[in-house]
Structure 1
Amino acid sequence: MSSTAARTAAPPLLAVAHGTRDADGMAEIGALLERVRGLRPGLRVELGCVDVAQPSLARTLATLRGEVVVVPLLLGTGYHVRVDIPEALAAAPQVRARVTSALGPDPLLATALAQRLAQARPGRGTSAVVLASAGSTDPAANAEAAVMAELLTARLGRPVVASYLCGGSPAPAEAVAALRAEGHDEVAVARYLLAPGYFARLAASAGGCVTSAPLGAHEAVARLVLRRYDEAARAGSLSRVA
């Protein structure tokens, strides 16, 4: 590669996931990144996890040099975005990184959630939906899930209530019960989660008449990852985030 080509090459996309001990969950994250690579042939796409899974973010950063765009595979701006990612970058001085915003909330996620619901119950709708998010001790992150519920309400044309599997209220089961008390006989649970794992199993026990699959390797999610990447890459010269 010539020196000119090296200077103009697109920076790698470093996708940062939470990670899970669930093998199916990690496989789904891998499938999502394969879909991203398929949409953008030639772009280097790497994975780093901030918790419980490999490759760790620190391990992946050690393999990188120069400019990189970090895209959190996270649905809200919680502790991992605000603390874990900046700390990992501070410990990797060889990298000049721009960190994009989290994936959610975004209309593309509403598209993916709506299609996952349709796949869970082909040809049959429901009167209301509970959006089961992971939840956070950060009120701002939980507020983002509420915004996502509003986006999904607009997409579906029926009530969607945000709920939280930890760190917030109501819990999904509480939200399902409240909607039924209001007269909604058929309440679906939409898993506002990236991949299978503990939270996904917990959401399935919330008592909905149907529970959709996690977002996973949906094309709209892959497109959103690339949109975040492109927004950062177009923003100008990358600078190291301390």
Structure 2
Amino acid sequence: MTASSPLRTSSRRASPLGRRRPAPPALVLVAHGSRDPRALDTVRALMARVRALRPGLPVHLGHIELNEPLLTDTLAALGGTPAVLVPLLLARGYHVKEDIPRMAATAPVPARTAGPLGPHPLLAEALHARLLEAGWPPAMDDTARRSTAVVLAAAGSRDPDSATDTRRTARLLAARLGVPVVPAYASAATPAVPTALRALAARGRHRVAVASCFTAPGRFAAQCAARSPWIASAPLGDHEAMAGLVLHRYEQNLAAPWRSAA
């Protein structure tokens, strides 16, 4: 990494001579935006948890669409402070690959984009915890396991990398639960949640939970949960593992070599 990296330069620690430590780059949470008012409350709660975990780190919120503040406005208000944008998205896709990097490239401050939150073991931890909250049994005998499965319900994307990431998250969750976990989608990809449920029933898996692979409440999350024949977990929201994962992506991005947006 070169000494000219604006983000890395701004995150240096104070020297032994006692010079004032520069402010760290801002962490900007990037939410998609939703017409469901609960979504904004949820991402604000997640932002508050991130701030509590890292006092002194400037943490902001910006939306791609539908809610304020919009990401462009958040970046414009940073007053010259460099920023790392952390998408509150759980797999790669158009927003992660195109929308957010384009906004970062045209920002009035040095800005770069971290990877999506998934796949990662911390994401699987949050999914597992939400299932337990919904009534997933903490222990299960072999007979119960043979009839049990999970549908991992995600938004869906036409980008094949999105499905690859969701399958990896499903494998991480299956390793925790000890039962099959099948990815399914609300739109733009297959299988749909009802199709996955029918396929599992045909295999003798009649006790099937729907694990909500959504950051916040919204239409897709509600539609997927309503299909569950057993239990459905809540969106991941401000679970502590999600806050830890946001900070991990921030630190991971800071540690990466600087590449100009040009």
Shared fold per TM-score greater than 0.5: yes
1:83 pairs with 2:104: no
**1:219 aligned partner, one-letter code:** E
Say which is worse superposed, 102-111 or 198-207, in terms of deviation. Answer: 198-207
**1:70 aligned partner, one-letter code:** L
Q: TM-score, normalised by structure 2?
A: 0.86
Cα deviation, residue 90, structure 1: 2.6
Structure 1 residues 241 and 66, CA, compared in 2 at 3 Å: closer, same or farther? farther
Look up the match of 1:42. 56
User: Does the 8 Å CA contact 1:195/1:215 hold for their aligned counterparts?
Assistant: yes
Higher Cα Rg, which structure: 2
Aligned counterpart for 2:163 among listed residues 127, 134, 142: 142
Structure 1 residues 54 and 240, CA, compared in 2 at 3 Å: closer, same or farther? farther
Distance in 2 of aligned mates of 1:78 and 1:153: 23
SS in 2 for 1:71: strand
Structure 1, unmatched stretches of 5+, are none
**1:76 aligned partner, one-letter code:** A
1:226 pairs with 2:226: no
Show CA shifts across 1:121-161 (max 9, x none): 15476710000000001111111111111111111111000
Look up the match of 1:33. 47
SS in 2 for 1:37: helix
User: Does the 8 Å CA contact 1:129/1:190 hold for their aligned counterparts?
Assistant: yes
Aligned counterpart for 2:110 among listed residues 93, 96, 105: 96
Aligned residues between the structures: 238
Aligned counterpart for 1:158 among listed residues 179, 185, 189: 179
1:61 pairs with 2:61: no
Cα deviation, residue 240, structure 1: 4.9
Cα deviation, residue 66, structure 1: 3.8
Say which is worse superposed, 94-103 or 42-51, in terms of deviation. Answer: 94-103
Look up the match of 1:121. 135
Cα deviation, residue 174, structure 1: 1.0
Alpha-carbon RMSD across the aligned residues, in angstroms, is: 1.9
Cα deviation, residue 241, structure 1: 2.6
1:241 pairs with 2:256: no
User: Does the 8 Å CA contact 1:134/1:164 hold for their aligned counterparts?
Assistant: yes
1:9 pairs with 2:23: yes
SS in 1 for 2:60: strand
Show CA shifts across 1:16-36 (max 9, x none): 111111111110110001000
Distance in 2 of aligned mates of 1:206 and 1:29: 25
Cα deviation, residue 194, structure 1: 0.3
Structure 1 residues 28 and 40, CA, compared in 2 at 3 Å: closer, same or farther? same
Q: TM-score, normalised by structure 1?
A: 0.93
SS in 2 for 1:211: coil
Cα deviation, residue 205, structure 1: 2.1
Distance in 1 of aligned mates of 2:249 and 2:188: 27
1:71 pairs with 2:91: no
Distance in 2 of aligned mates of 1:174 and 1:13: 39
Look up the match of 2:205. 184
Distance in 2 of aligned mates of 1:181 and 1:103: 33
Q: Percent identity, aligned pairs only?
A: 47
Distance in 2 of aligned mates of 1:60 and 1:69: 12
